[in-house]
Each structure stands twice: as C-alpha cells, then as structure tokens.
Amino acid sequence: MKVIVFTKDIHLLDMIRKKMQIEFINREIQFFIFSDIRKMDKNIRLKNESIDILFCDLDGIDFNDRMQKRIEKSNSIDNVVYISETYGELTRCFLNKTRGFLTKPINDDINFGDVFNFLKEHINDKIETIGYMDYGGKKKKINIKQIKYIKAIGRYSKIKYEDKTVTISKNLGNLEKKLKESNFLRVHRSYIVNVLFINKINNQEVYLSSGDKIPVGAKYYNEFLKNIIDSDGFVTKK
C-alpha cells in the first residue's frame, strides 16, 4: 500500500503512521512525506507511483484552485482525505476523489473508521496487473487474479494464466515481491502458485484446478503448509 502524507506537522504525521500501521498490520505500507505541493507533484510523475491514498493537511499552506486541479487530475492518486483545524476549511476542498475529512487535533481518540473501511474496500477491489511487452512490441497486462502459477526460466519467468502461457523478462524473485500481498506462495525454487487454484497438496506436488501439477521443494513444504491451511483445514493464505 502506498500512502502520501502532505503536511508540515510532525505530530500529525506520526499519528497517521501509527494508526495506519495498527489498522493494516499485515500489509506493507510505503509512506511518502511532502510539505511542498510542487515537489510532491513532480516526484509522483517522475517515479510513476500509484498512490492509494493522500492525507492532505490544509493548515499552513495556500491551498488554491490550481493545487486542487493538480490533485484531481493526477492519474496516480486514487483517494484523498483532507485535514484541518476547521471543518469549514475542509468542505470547500471537496473533490471527486475525496473520501473523508479529519479535524485536528488528531490523537489516539480520533476515529479513522470510515476512512479505513473505504480504504480496505479500495485495496481489496483494486485489480493489480503484471505488465509486459509482447513480441509485436505492444504493451500487455495480465490481471494477477487470473494467474495460476509462475515458473522461473533463468532471468525470465513463464506465467500460466487463463488457458494461456506467456514468458516475460522479469525474474521470479522480483515477481514474488510484487505478489507478496496477493494469494501467491513459493512452493519450489522455480515455482510460485496462486493458492486459490489449489485442489490438492502432498509433499511432492501441488494439484491445481487447471489440471497442472507443480513440484513441491522439500525445503518449502512445511512453510507452505503453515501459510495456507487455516484452523478448520481450509486452504487460504494467511
């Protein structure tokens, strides 16, 4: 999850970090901190980051129409929460991306409930993709929910999705990091699988609903089981 906090208030920054890390304890959160709108805008464009939520502190800055338009038109920012000492200041900033208003002081007693509930829905519904160039030089995208497994082929990876396979110029280690928060687990030094497609498991192979059989490495087996079998015996990634 990627979060921008736009503020000059160190206490506010600390409280947002604290509340986010408690609420989303099982997710990796990247925080980007800015106090200058131009630097924020430039940084997002240069890095081509996709930001899940922007917490924007309005106090101490001249939040004008130009700044509003920059945020509203940014393809990189999905959701915005505005923060101020006065509610009147907040309501004039309503944009299509606005998901909530928070009034200061922000402390342990302030409830982020509605903001966090929306953010959880946003993260769960967000369709993540893996991009690659096909042999015709065209950009293609694969919805990761459709991927059944990925196999390492040297510095490349073979992806099985739907009823197709494609080889892309990304190694398995990098793809595993990208898919860390999704339903993928390593079962072998050369394979990661989508646990949602698993039908049966033994200490030698994983059987997928697609009919594919994936080898299980001895060093990965116990950790693999620990991560996918819940207390009722159902397959699910913990």
Query: What's 29's domain CATH number?
Result: 3.40.50.2300
Identify which of 177, 182, 191 has the alpha carbon closest to the alpha carbon of residue 219.
Answer: 191
What pLDDT does 47 receive?
Answer: 63
* Burial call 29-65: b when 16+ CB within 10 Å, e when fewer: eeebebeebeebbeebeeeeeebbbbbbbbeeeebee
Assess whether 72 and 137 both reside in one domain. no
Helix then strand count (H, E) for the chain reads: 7, 15
Q: What mean pLDDT value characterizes the chain?
A: 82
pLDDT digits (tens, 9 = 90+) for 125-182: 665 778 776 766 777 788 888 899 999 999 999 999 988 899 988 899 988 887 877 7
Assess whether 167 and 180 both reside in one domain. yes
Question: What is the number of structural domains in the chain?
Answer: 2
Residue 201, domain member (yes or no):
yes
CATH of the domain at 150: 2.40.50.1020
Residue 236, domain member (yes or no):
no
Assess whether 29 and 135 both reside in one domain. no
Domain residue limits at 10 = 2-125
Query: Do residues 83 and 55 lie in contact, with contact meaning Cβ atoms separated by under 8 Å?
Result: yes
Instruction: Please indicate whether residue 224 or residue 50 has the higher confidence score (pLDDT).
Output: 224
